Structure 1
Amino acid sequence: MNKKQLIADGKAVIGIEFGSTRIKAVLVGENAQVLATGAHDWENQLVNGIWTYSLDQIWKGLQDCYADLAQQVRQQYDITLTRVAAIGISGMMHGYLPFDKDGELLTPFRTWRNTITQEAAEKLTREFDFNIPQRWSIAHLYQAILNKEEHVSKIDYITTLAGYIHWKLTGKKVLGIGEASGMFPIDSKTKDYNARMLEQFNSLDEVAACPWKLQQILPQVLLAGDEAGTLTEEGAGLLDVSGNLQAQIPFCPPEGDAGTGMTATNSVAVRTGNVSAGTSVFAMVVLEKELQKVHEELDLVTTPSGDTVAMVHCNNCTSDLNKWIGLFKEFSDLFGMQIPINDIYEKLYTNAMTGAKDCDGIIAFNTLSGEPVIGTNEGRPMVFHKPDAKVNLANFMRAHLYASLATLKVGCDILFKEEQVAVDRIYGHGGLFKTKGVGQNILAAAMNAPVALMSTAGEGGPWGMAILASYMLCRDTYPTLQQYLNQCIFANETATTVDPDPDDVRGFDAYIANYRRAVSVQQAAIEALSLS
């Protein structure tokens, strides 16, 4: 079937993902071939010390993104988009969105980027003997309880960004298991919230006084391939303000950006892994056995099918690096050169690879926000060097590229060196890998493992979400997500693989040794330079 006919017949599928800086929609056809895309740029705000997005931002962004997609369909195929076969919603994982019984948001959205739940995270980690990171929804909820916040007694439902959008579009209070695993720990056997830990939480003195039990206010957990409701009339109006989109379109379970990243890189099988490097950076490795001990640097989440995944999540990746690129763009504009920003990225990134393997004593911290992996609750971007360092452009940029993956390496060293976790190949995706021979090589050095880039990796999370929505439609034919990915999506996929260069590995190790010693300088800067 040709593309135009497929769209006209309502057989295409939409995946929409709320990223940190962009909301993107992808329309796909057979075998997840991309037919059209739409996007809306947005940015979080620091309001009263809380990283947040307003509800107006969320809905305006979704509507603009969908309108852009619909416009692209009209321009490319001369078709008005009225119906599709399925839709899936994904977004930034974790965070805190509590609602009362009337569906009113009780506090501004607290995103994953906030590092304001240290007390709660530490107490729950000890109580559960299971690492609870600060960004997890349960840490936000417990911290609100410990803070005696007035809204807690009014909570009727808590969810994530993807869960909230899905709820308003379908009326269903559900989450895909991968997204749910970033709210509360999952039992790998039951594929549901861990019953022991639910009881432990409910039994805590501060929680016992609440007028609800935790299981009453959490979303229902669903697996990849499950049906998760249909688009309501009200939801259709929210999504498409033009009124062209029809209701009753099936939705798959809403997932997190970690799950869509695993799907988009065919990394849902044991001993596979992927690294997503954009505003934040995280590594996911599907485990073949349990970890030997609890590590605060390692989260345990799941694939969209419920298999256990070790996750190293870092709040900061390319945001500060982008600011430096912007500075060089401003410099070039000042001299009337008007160099395209993409050319500046490519030239500076490529030149960085000619620098010293250890950056010759230049150290950079890219921390716009706190970074729990190194124990900081606030961020202070900084760059400094030893007096005898060779401060040239290549070393300077290489140090900032290393900084974008430095905290990831700290966590992955625990995973690979201490826990001896085996991984056959790491798949990279995200903005850091756009310049050939740079991000991929640096990641290979950081992980000391082969790193592969797929030709489809640039499609990213919304494409992965569209794949999950497509899988729901043919689950009877393909009993497992892995079978579907291998046979329908990636059967003819080719990947470009880079093995770690031993000199690069030694250079990054030397840089990280200096970086670790300099964490105390970062902490001192936090204490000395107040944000107020």
Structure 2
Amino acid sequence: MQPDRSDTAADILAGRTALGIELGSTRIKACLVGADPGEVLAVGGCEWENEYADRRWTYSLDAVHAGLRAAYADLVAEVRRRYDVTPETFGAIGVSAMMHGYLAFDAADRLLVPFRTWRNTSTGPAAAELSELFGVNIPLRWSVAHLHQAVLDGEAHVPDVASITTLAGYVHRRLTGERVLGVGDASGMFPIDAAGTDYDAELLARYDRRTAGTALTAPLRRLLPEVRVAGQAAGRLTADGAALLDPSGALAPGIPCCPPEGDAGTGMVATNAVAPRTGNVSAGTSIFAMVVLERPLAHPHPELDLVTTPAGDPVAMVHCNNGASELAAWAGLFGRFAEAAGVPLEPDAVYETLFREALTGDADGGGLLAYNTLAGEPIAGLDEGRPMVVRTPDSRLTLGNFMRAQLYGMYGALALGMRVLAEEGVGIDRMFGHGGVFRTAGVAQRFLAGALAAPVAVGETASEGGAWGIAVLAAYLRDAGGADARGAAGVAPAAGGADVRGAAAGGAPAVGGAEALSAYLAEHVFAGAAVDTVDPDPADVAGFAAYLERFRAGLAAEEAAARAL
């Protein structure tokens, strides 16, 4: 039963809520949850887009600030429309953003070079050198790879570097003044220790020895933000931070903030995949899979990143730079065709029609091959991307096969990495699909089950995304007592919120392990959530395996296209 509108309005005014804001690749989204973190009260957002300037993918900080204000204003407008009140405080706030990349500042907190996003693949020499130095895979997009590449290239800004952070860390610092980062996001900057609570001290020492005598004079530990785990306090909204979010002045400072996290961690929370043998696949501009490990991997693998959950537990991550963007481009083309034919369709109807048609295609895509590579794809060995559709003269070119090939292509590089996990003997009980492509029931979900040869579940919140995930992490801080004080309006944590299995004395959540967070999610967030699970169809498994063989063989054509065009 839905709560009474007047009761909800009272909760909003009293701050018995939690606010999550996530800066995704193409959209900044704000999500407000109530005393029950599974109850989404309102959402708001705005579109934005990266720029390709001087051969680097970037977003300007002005765009970051404007997007934050626009997304928050849109959320407030929705709250006013639905509940006829204006929020002035929240029980807690959380910020998330796309992981990794490089934001470097000098001692006066001035940005030294434009933000270098996860999408850049120019750090090959640094990543290879660091992987050998550390004995673990260092992906191209990790912050330490970007920093070390700047050192190797002798970039002029290196002597002035006083701090580096991720996009979530930057926004959090603007809101709170605190230079901290959630452990999940921090694990995409530098390897985390076995306890899952801080950077690996031995590897930090190795790096400092390697860079001795270079232009980088400060110890790396001094440049990195402090690490926090889920449930720990990470500062409070300052007056300047409140003004940044809400120039109208209605939002009061003093609100507790949870550790800022990356989109991988918030995706795991949003899909209840933080316990060992669980995992999720998040499909957006990029696509990645996260699997929580029971034990360390036997060997390092270039296809796998070792990161953590927001609680600090080890995770194997398969990250692909290219996700659903090429699929969206084709949907736009077909949508324009419908409009030109005099039968215009809403975007969701275009996707629904095309996805349903994919179900009529042959199990292997009819011999068609589609690459979604707008950017380089390290897992597939591609330095640059060229979207392509390839077919042989005897292939079966139908709309169903074309769309199935496009959906299969979105999973191609991901499947290469997941095969490596299978070879390591990593056990998976369930995978959750997460992202807008799963809104059309039974299509992208079914094909993913075939690609992974594993059951795939999709929940009611699959399309809410990481903004809801970080709102839940903010609620976790609020409810488990980790805020350590009352909010700006003097509001105590929600009644019963300390009833979290594994909590330490005094109501603060246990840290350094998944038990407390996973129990909170199971008991307070997902207890009554509807989940639809699809088992892999043997025909889809065999068909995708045949498609993946063509995908591997066709990578030579991708490389040739990048050289020619």
Pairwise TM-score range, normalised by the shorter structure: over 0.9
Q: Is the 8 A contact 2:30 2:45 kept in 1?
A: yes
1:445-485 CA-partner distances (Å, limit 9, x unpaired):
01100000111222210111011011112225222111211
Answering whether residue 460 of structure 2 is matched by residue 473 of structure 1, we say no
Query: Which position in structure 2 is the counterpart of 1:508?
Result: 544
Q: Is contact 1:201-1:207 (8 Å) kept?
A: no
Query: What is the one-letter code of the residue matched to 1:16?
Result: I
Q: Which residue of 2 aligns with 1:448?
A: 453
**For the residues of structure 2 that align with 1:201 and 1:386, how far apart are their CA atoms?**
50
What SS does the corresponding residue of 1:165 show, helix, strand or coil?
helix
Aligned 1:319-334 pairs, distance under 5 A: 319-334=325-340
Any conservation in 1 of the 2:57–2:117 contact (CA below 8 Å)? Answer: yes
Structure 1 stretch displaced more, 329-338 or 393-402 = 329-338
Match for residue 213 of structure 1 among 211, 215, 219:
219
Instruction: Give the structure 1 partner of residue 488 of structure 2.
Output: none
SS of 2:36 mapped into structure 1: helix
Larger deviation, residues 201-210 vs 178-187: 201-210
Alignment of 1:246-261 (within 5 A): 246-261=252-267
1:399 and 2:381 aligned = no
Match of 1:7 among 2, 6, 12: 12
Deviation at 1:209, TM superposition (A): 4.5
- 2:24 is aligned with 1:19: yes
Partner of 1:434: 439
1:368-387 to structure 2, matched below 5 A, reads 368-387=374-393
Q: Does 1:282 align with 2:318?
A: no
How far does the alpha carbon of each residue in 1:258-291 deviate from its partner, in whole angstroms, 9 at most, with x for none? 1101111110001000100111100000000111
Partner of 1:47: 53
Q: Does 1:179 align with 2:185?
A: yes
- Identify the residue that residue 84 of structure 2 maps to in structure 1: 78
Which residue is 1:517 aligned to? 553
Residues 161 and 216 of structure 2 are in contact (CA less than 8 Å); yes or no, is this contact kept in structure 1?
no
- Residue 369 of structure 2, aligned match among 359, 363, 374: 363
Tell me, what secondary structure is at the counterpart of 1:453? strand
Write the deviation string for residues 225-277 of structure 1: whole angstroms up to 9, x where unpaired.
Answer: 00010111111111101111001111000000011011111100010001001
Structure 1 residues 481 and 456, CA gap change in structure 2 (3 angstroms): same
Distance 2:427 2:156 in 1: 47
Q: Does 1:189 align with 2:195?
A: yes
Amino acid aligned to 1:264: A
Contact 2:281–2:434 (Cα < 8 Å) also in 1:
yes
**Structure 2 contact 439–462 (Cα < 8 Å) conserved:** no
The whole-number CA distance in structure 1 between the counterparts of 2:530 and 2:401 is: 33
Find the counterpart in structure 2 of residue 492 from structure 1.
528
* SS at structure 2 position matched to 1:31: coil
* CA root-mean-square deviation: 1.1
Alignment partners' CA distance in 1, 2:87 and 2:299 = 51
Alignment pair present for 1:168 and 2:174: yes
Q: Which amino acid aligns with 1:153?
A: P
Partner residue in 2 for 1:421:
426
1:245 paired to 2:263: no
Measured in 2, the distance between the counterparts of 1:205 and 1:374 equals 30
Letter of the 1:266 counterpart: N
- Residue 458 of structure 1 corresponds to 463
Q: TM-score normalized by structure 1?
A: 0.98
Contact 1:131 1:298 in 2 (8 A): yes
Q: Distance in 2 between matches of 1:464 and 1:326?
A: 29
Q: Which letter does structure 2 place at the counterpart of 1:12?
A: T
Residues 104-150 of structure 1: per-residue CA shift (max 9 Å, x gap): 10000000011110111111111111000000000000001111000
**3-state DSSP of counterpart to 1:485:** helix
For 1:344 and 1:40, the matched residues in 2 are separated by 22
> Whole-Å Cα distance in 2 between the matches of residues 260 and 339 of structure 1?
32
The alpha carbon displacement at 1:30 in A equals 1.8
Q: Secondary structure at the match of 2:255?
A: coil
Q: Spell out, residue by residue over 1:25-75, the C-alpha distance to the aligned partner (whole angstroms, 9 max, x if none).
A: 011102211111110111111111110100111000000000111111111
Match of 2:355 in 1: 349
Note closer, same or farther for the CA distance 1:474–1:342 as it changes in structure 2 (3 Å cut): closer
Aligned mates of 1:52, 1:323 — CA distance in 2: 21
For residue 389 of structure 2, what is the amino acid of its counterpart?
V
Give yes or no for contact 1:88–1:466 (8 Å, CA) kept in 2.
Answer: yes
Corresponding residue number in structure 1 for 2:43? 37
Secondary structure of the structure 2 residue equivalent to 1:457: coil
Q: Which residue of 1 aligns with 2:163?
A: 157
Contact 2:436/2:462 (8 A) holds in 1: no
- Partner-residue secondary structure (3-state), 1:81: coil
Task: Tell me which amino acid in the other structure corresponds to 2:453.
Answer: N
Superposed displacement of residue 494, structure 1: 2.5
Question: C-alpha distance in 2, partners of 1:195/1:209?
Answer: 22
SS of alignment partner, residue 150 of structure 1 = coil
Residue 199 of structure 1 aligns to a residue in which SS? helix
Aligned-partner Cα distance in 1 for 2:213–2:112? 18
Q: Partners in 2 of 1:492 and 1:326 — Cα distance?
A: 36
Q: Residue by residue, what CA displacement relative to the aligned partner does 1:482-502 show, whole Å, maximum 9, x if unpaired?
A: 121111111112211000001
Aligned partner of residue 52 in structure 2, secondary structure: strand
2:230 counterpart of 1:224: yes
Displacement of 1:207 = 6.4
For residues 376 and 207 of structure 1, the distance between their equivalents in structure 2, rounded to whole angstroms, comes to 34
1:527 equivalent in structure 2: 563
How big is each residue's C-alpha offset from its partner over 1:416-456, in whole Å with a ceiling of 9 and x where there is no partner?
1x111000000111012111110000100011000001112
* Structure 1 residue matching 2:253: 3-state secondary structure: coil
Alignment match of 2:154 (pick from 127, 136, 148): 148
Which 4+ stretches in 1 moved above 3 angstroms? 205-209
Please tell me the residue identity of whatever aligns with 2:218: W
